[in-house]
Amino acid sequence: MRTRNRILFISILIILIGLLGGFSLIRHAHTPDFINLYFDSNLISLYIEPFFFILTTAEMVWLNPIRNYAIIRNQNHKILTKLIALIILNWLLLYTSLLLPFMFLNKPFFILGKINDGIFIVLIHIFIVLILSLLLIKVYESSNPYFLLFLVILIITTYHFSIEKRILLPLYSQFFDPLWRAKHHIYG
């Protein structure tokens, strides 16, 4: 019963973090473009997603003591299947709660650039977070889970600053090109 309460607590915490992050992004927005709000700002990639990875790792660490009992009873595969489902559910809760505040604005999603490019940026980012969170299942079997957590946070941060901000966002719109912004005196 304690395990269910912990899982429910973490799920509610993920929803609250997503809603608070979404409302915070909208409140401090200069333009109502979805890509500008969610992917040009650093709030999601530097704070919300690493906190999500920490919560996911905490769930796996809490469930690690039952691993030996699951192996003895040949239930390890069943436990891993449930963990995959739990991670996917938490991932869906996070991104649904992040999107809800923007949907309340009743504005178009992609204003500054092409819709196809915007959808590609969103899908690739969400897919990478899903893959990295599924990678955290190894924490359940690991004796040193914190190295894997550090690696996952490092990968998402590197992706955000190296690929997303430097390559993908300028392809979406010239508004995200640093040279164009400097020329038009747009900072921040």
Q: pLDDT tens for residues 1-18? A: 577 888 888 889 999 998
CA gap 176, 188 in Å, rounded: 11
Indicate the pLDDT class of residue 164, thresholds 50, 70 and 90: confident
- Pair 98, 18: CB distance under 8 Å: yes
- When pLDDT is averaged across residues 130-157 and rounded to a whole number, the result is 88
Within 10 angstroms of residue 54's Cβ, the number of other Cβ atoms is 14
Better-predicted residue by pLDDT, 71 or 38: 38
| pLDDT given for residue 13 in this prediction | 92
Better-predicted residue by pLDDT, 72 or 128: 128
| pLDDT given for residue 178 in this prediction | 59
**37-41, 61-65, 76-80, 177-181: which range is least confident on average?**
177-181
CA gap 52, 91 in Å, rounded: 8
CA gap 148, 133 in Å, rounded: 11
| pLDDT given for residue 43 in this prediction | 83
Residue 157 has pLDDT above 80, yes or no: yes
The chain-wide mean pLDDT, for the chain, equals 83
Q: Please, how many CA atoms are within 13 Å of residue 81, restricted to the half-sphere of its CB?
A: 5
